[in-house]
Structure 1
Amino acid sequence: MAIQSVKRATDIISLFSSSQPSLGVTQIAAALGLNKATAWGLVTTLEKQGFLQQDPETLKYGIGSKLFELGMVYAGNLDINAKSSRLVQGLASRTGLVARVGIWDSGSILITLVALPKSEDSLSHQLGPRVPAYCSGIGKAVLPFLPPEEIEKYLGGLEFVRHARATILTAEELLADFEQTRERGYAISSEEMIPGLAAFGAPVFSRSRRVLGGISLSDAPANLLGKNRDTLADDLMRTAAEISRQMGYYTT
């Protein structure tokens, strides 16, 4: 019974996302197939422990401060963040663009670090947002370098959604894009996830030669894909390669 309760509690927490930040007890009960009394008992326990919080006006629940605190602990202790923070801040400062670090996690990209170009102390360890891999700069840098069987599994379970005007919507187009990314060494996402925004992404590898995640630079398409495109892309790839070396990856 205790194990079932723990699973139900984690199932409740997992219902919340950036697209669904607040839920009522009735919604939670329906989503998990629980009776309302059971759902209410679990939700109020999670609230008392700080994992959920209730909006006094809507009476709906959202993620609580305890999860935020634990998320910051997790992000601050990620090896890729520790190894990349100085390098990514340098990239942001040199290029004048926002740089991000993200990891491949459960079929999507979880942003773990953001570096702003304005000052040397504008680095933010964070968890989220979680973004789709097939249309984001980091995701499109990671996917082509996964083992073939993982790519096949990912595509088999993927439901394409149009996020912006240029979102890729077929597996065939995405696989062709993978080939271009492998040839260039970096990925391009231009108005595929967010209207008016483009991103370059480059993969980061581990000591075991497995792709862990990646880094990105983002700006308006006209700026990122303009006259400085090659310079920006080269700087991004050099930075990603150095982070990979810091992670223990070496080419033979």
Structure 2
Amino acid sequence: MPARPDRTLRDKVVVIGGASRNLGGLLAREIAPDGAKVVVHYNSDSSRDKAEQTADDVRKAGGEAVTHQGDLTRVAEVEKLFDAAVREFGKVDCVVNTAGMVIKKPMTETTEEEFDKMFAVNTKAAYFMMREAAKRVEDGGKIITIVTSLLAAYTGLYSVYAGSKAPVEHFTRALSKELFGRNVSVNNIAPGPMDTGFFYPAETDDSIAYHKSSAMNGDLTKIEDIVPYVRFLLTDGWWLNGQTLFVNGGYTTR
């Protein structure tokens, strides 16, 4: 039988969008002992210290890391992120985009400015991260975007949030097909409401209790619940392609 392909992260260059904290930060730290080379992206000066701490943690755990600041809603900044990865490590093997923004309010109260900002972060940035990843990743690479389990929900109040995440599913299907022949997989992970600072500002005590009650253990999704699935897609899960995985304890199904 032929030798089993190497599906490890050793010496793989992994660009993580939004890696200063929460899911992106934990993923960076978790893949460090595998010998990954991590590009820790962060958006603004307020995240710089946390991004540098993430990079330090990666190095202490056995990986390599570099930080890079950029506004992913600007295409030139997306290109610069990948330029930095290639300049520092010589290549890009994997891209994981965890960056996103949430808003919860009735459609009748949503402003044009809020609409434009949400689609810039959740749709435009995701699209051009995927576009640039497709240009830069090595054959056999992996491209993963974090979306939301609300894509499978019948609910109000999240129209512009879930609506701005929904196009990413089609982006993923289209790009995965376009990259046939290069052995590059393109997938999404759709977590349930996650127990992070990203979640709570948009919610009330009652809605938090409702979200918790909708999962099998009566709790929110933890970032520690999601990282193993990202790692799987980056390694042994390479045969999954063009898919959205709803990792949410039964919060929604499809």
Same fold (TM over 0.5): no
Normalization by structure 2: what TM-score?
A: 0.28
